Amino acid sequence: MSLTRQDVEKIAQLARLSITEQEMPVYVTSLSSIVDFVDELSRAQTGDVEPMAHPLDGQSQRLRADVVSEGDNHEKYQSNAPAVQAGLYVVPRVID
Amino acid sequence: MLHTLSIDELRQRLDSRQISSVEITRHFLARIERLNPALNALITLTAEEALAAAAAADSRRAAGEKGPLLGIPLIHKDIFCTDGVRTSCGSRMLDNFIAPYDATIVARLKEAGTVMLAKANMDEFAMGSSNETSYYGPVKNPWDTTKVPGGSSGGSAAATAARLAPFATGTDTGGSIRQPAALTGVTGIKPTYGRVSRYGMVAFASSLDQAGVFARSAADAAIVLQAMAGFDPRDSTSVDAPVPDYSATLNAPLGGLKIGLLREFFDGLEARNSALIHDALKTYRRLGAETVEVSLPHLPLSVPTYYVVAPAECSSNLSRFDGVRFGYRCDSPKDLFDLYTRSRGEGFGAEVKRRIMTGTYVLSAGYFDAYYLKAQKVRRLITDDFRAAFARVDLLIGPTTPTPAFAIGAKINDPVTMYLNDIYTIGANLAGLPGVSLPCGFVDELPMGLQLIGPHFSEAKLLNAAHQLQQATDWHRRSPRGYE
């Protein structure tokens, strides 16, 4: 079951990835071969086995008391931002 | 020569004041300057910080402090956040990212007095088995610089093999410590999932990632793992279980140890690879171990299972890279959609984009059940197979890689061929089990590794078994020509 160019365009859009015209055929081929490869799983007999999300069976999310534990490191953590104004991250206009 | 000494031998010389940490650090920095250009194993050198840390370690020692890692240099894989130092994950996306905090393992090793020399090169975002996907160029294998060192922790492996540092940290999601350790002739350990904190370790696949060590012996790896392991409240998947003294049991006799030969791993294994492992088994029997054949019938499904689960998790984890708060941002984005798609399209390399898209596909509406849910069911079957085997044996043995190091460029254009390099390592990640790769000989003058896998939290036994083999053989003492 190979992927079409349309499939790859839709996936790229969902994943928010720009793919150039040049790159597109390479991705169609390689993604198709990967999907064909993992299709082998469909032949496995899994019956009503429980899906396994992670290896730590029986461990549930740890909770802690709802108290403040971190300091204000606003400036330090924002120092890697591409564009900042008044402590806010600047992005292209979202709402017209 | 300082770079041929074990961690404990270095510590002894430091404690007896024969040498200082500053001198040891200078020695390794000089080696890096001379030898790294041919290997491209490192991304960021932190020479000044290293000398300052070494001087601080010397002061701590002068004040009476002792410790197995006090004043010992190391190299960190560039996936661990290091406060004030670039953390690139081998990607253009983070080429300009200066980490604002230390990963837990970085902080623990710092607290123990280690000296960070550099950040190691790696496959981009830990996705790869050859260290060819790095934005900073491929890493060369010191045993033959036309060959790959393996990946994704190729830089850490190559640096350890070339003796640019006594040890290096790495991460292993599908084999990224064990496979490069095998291809570069060093010892590499991936602990049990949850044994070592993932806080500050840039996430690839959250249910598979684990931090671990490259060293030139199991004895050295034991010292480092001791400092790294243990509960961390900042990692919600960290297990609150006591950490045994790994060094104390290295010399425990192996009498009665039951080692299982994984039939599915030996089927179709290349003869010379198989012969090396059988040689090691002869040594193990001589040391008192028994060997038994075991079968894990679902194990051949590990690679397709992994290549559904890992990309799915990576597509989710890498959605944080959006050009907004940190990392690469494209020029003149015309709207938010353009900002996202071009920052990510330009910031990520091809393999990363392939895996994000594979993950997006298998999680998308209409495909989730057939792929992701199905893969999670197969994951349980594989895990159950391991559990059944460990009811009969103490450890499992097999090859680490199907072949010795392959040529740079040989597999990079065929993703599925590249993925099959992980065929022996992936099972342990899916089941969350600890595994160690240790050198076991040579094929075509290139190093080969054998792999030991244990039940959850059996690192002490793995290191003990590895150490015993290393007392009886000297594969781990070999050095590539020019790096002795």
Report residue B476's pLDDT band, with 50, 70 and 90 as the boundaries. Answer: very high
**Which H helix or E strand runs over B21?**
helix B21-39
Please say if the pLDDT value at position B98 is more than 70. Answer: yes
- The CATH architecture one would assign to domain B2-256+434-477 is Alpha-Beta Complex (3.90)
Distance from CA of B409 to the nearest CA of A (A): 16
pLDDT digits (tens, 9 = 90+) for B412-440: 888 887 778 888 999 999 999 999 999 99
The answer to whether residue B345 neighbours chain A at the CB level (below 8 Å) is: yes
Q: ipTM value of the model?
A: 0.95
Closest CA in chain B for residue A27: B354
Determine contact, residues B46/B119, Cβ cutoff 8 Å.
Answer: yes
**Torsion from C-alpha of A54, A59, A64, A66, nearest 10 degrees:** 60
Q: What band does A87 get if pLDDT is binned at 50, 70 and 90?
A: very high
Each residue's pLDDT tens digit, B75-91: 999 999 999 999 999 99
Q: Which residues of A touch B97 (CB under 8 A)?
A: 80
Q: Which residues share a beta bridge with B443?
A: B446
Residue B95 has pLDDT above 70, yes or no: yes
A34–chain B nearest CA distance, Å: 6
B127-174 pLDDT, tens digit per residue, is: 999 999 999 999 999 999 999 999 999 999 999 999 999 999 999 999
On the question of pLDDT at A1 being above 60, the answer is no
- Min Cα distance A8 → chain B (Å) is 8
At B51 the pLDDT is 98
Task: Please give the share of chain B, as a percent, with pLDDT higher than 90.
Answer: 95
Q: Is the pLDDT of residue B123 over 80?
A: yes
Buried-exposed string B71-97: b where 16+ CB fall within 10 A, e elsewhere: bbbbbbbbbbbbbebbbbbbbbbbbeb
Phi, psi of B249 (to 5 degrees): -105, 10
Which of B239, B356, B380 minimises the CB distance to A49?
Answer: B380
CA-CA distance, B330 to B256, in Å (whole number)? Answer: 61
Closest CA to B412 of B123, B93, B37, B78: B123
Among the listed residues B77, B110, B119, B140, the single catalytic one is: B77
B306-323 b/e with 16+ CB inside 10 Å = b? Answer: bbbbbbbbbbbbbeebbb
Residue A96 pLDDT greater than 80, yes or no? no
Give contacts of A 53-92 with B, CB under 8 A: 53-56, 59, 61-62, 64, 73, 76-83, 89, 91-92
Mean pLDDT of the B365-382 span: 94
Q: Which residue of B has its CA nearest to A88?
A: B325
Average pLDDT over residues B48-53: 98
What pLDDT score does B122 carry? 98
Q: How confident is the model at residue B268 (pLDDT cuts 50, 70, 90)?
A: confident
pLDDT score at A56: 85
* Residue B293 CB partners (closer than 8 Å, separation 6+): B260, B261, B263
Query: Does residue B242 register a pLDDT over 90?
Result: yes
Domains of chain A: which residue ranges?
Answer: 5-37
Kindly tell me if the per-residue pLDDT of B74 is higher than 90.
Answer: yes
pLDDT tens-digit profile of A17-58? 999 999 999 999 999 999 999 998 988 999 889 999 889 877
Give the C-alpha separation, B171 to B15, whole Å: 31
**For residue B195, what pLDDT is reported?**
98
Both tokens of A29, joined, read 């081929």
Task: Show residues of chain B in contact with A89, CB under 8 Å.
Answer: 324-325
* Measured distance CA(B275)–CA(B321) in Å, rounded: 46
Give yes or no for residue B225 having a pLDDT over 90: yes
> What pLDDT score does A54 carry?
86
Q: Report residue B335's pLDDT band, with 50, 70 and 90 as the boundaries.
A: very high
Q: What's the mean pLDDT in B33-62?
A: 98
Is pLDDT above 80 for B323?
A: yes
| Domain definitions of chain B by residue range | 2-256+434-477
d(CA B172, CA B132): 17
Q: How confident is the model at residue B361 (pLDDT cuts 50, 70, 90)?
A: very high
Question: For residue B246, how many other CB atoms are within 10 A of its CB?
Answer: 24
In eight-state DSSP terms, residue B201 is B
How much is the average pLDDT of B457-483?
97
Among B129, B152, B315, B458, which one carries the catalytic annotation?
Answer: B152
Report how far Cα B253 is from the mean position of its chain's Cα atoms. 28
